Chains A and B, each alone.
Chain A
């Protein structure tokens, strides 16, 4: 069956460090993968999209990698700040729709 797994429910890091979040998938051949940020009680907000023929994408302090051989995407936040604390969701296209992982809750401590 198709699965999307994001690393541990919660990740705690110190301000200034790099946060690395993992998204693994099985039985998908996604054309692209997206990352979203979700704050409590609010809808997800789009951050980055990376296509299957791209290895890496960057946007300000954010970096996403996509390894279709390992079936894995890594999401990095460099120089993390307490304001980066949120749940981060990966999403990829299944057969006909977008499927989301359960998310990783990131807490950045000052």
Chain B
């Protein structure tokens, strides 16, 4: 069964350093999402791509976060500089269509980020 791949699974970094996460969605899925999940809370959408275009990045802290999906396939989320409050699980998900169409989202295993 096809899965969403994410790497690394775990990342420890010092504050003020740069960190990057990679996601490879299920083949054929046009929509890709990046979420942040703080322990005890639900996933919070950071950015949504439709193919290579950003559909929604209203919750992305653009002063330090950036995301790209250059060829409309895999995607990278970057944080520079990292802050202590960025410690969380970063989840990538993909779906056949956009959230407006009600397609289920397939999530990857996530990247657990710890900022020290």
Interface, chain A (partner B; CB < 8 A): 4, 9, 31-32, 34, 41-46, 49, 51, 89, 91, 93, 96-103
**B93 at the A interface (CB under 8 A):** yes
Q: Are A32 and B102 in touch, CB under 8 angstroms?
A: yes
Complex: A56 Cα to B40 Cα, angstroms = 28
Q: Interface residue tally of chain B, by bracket?
A: 20 to 34
The A-B contact count (CB < 8 A) is 59
Stretch in B13-21, B74-82, B106-114 touching the partner: B106-114
| Residues on the A chain within 8 Å of B87, using CB | none
| Residues on the B chain within 8 Å of A102, using CB | 40-42
Complex: A19 Cα to B105 Cα, angstroms = 24
Partner of A31, one of B41, B102, B105: B102
Q: Are A99 and B110 in touch, CB under 8 angstroms?
A: no
Closest residue of chain A to B93, judged by CB? A43
Q: Are B42 and A103 in touch, CB under 8 angstroms?
A: yes
Interface, chain B (partner A; CB < 8 A): 4, 33, 40-45, 48, 55-56, 58, 91, 93, 99-100, 102, 104-110, 112
Question: Helix, strand, loop or mixed for chain A's interface?
Answer: strand
Q: Are B56 and A46 in touch, CB under 8 angstroms?
A: no
| Residues on the B chain within 8 Å of A32, using CB | 102
Max count, chain A CB within 10 A of own CB: residue among B40, B104, B108, B112: B104
25 pairs, CB–CB < 8 Å, chain A vs chain B = A9-B40, A31-B100, A31-B102, A42-B110, A43-B4, A43-B93, A44-B105, A45-B107, A46-B105, A49-B102, A89-B42, A93-B100, A96-B55, A96-B58, A96-B99, A97-B48, A97-B56, A97-B99, A98-B45, A98-B99, A100-B43, A101-B42, A102-B40, A102-B41, A103-B42
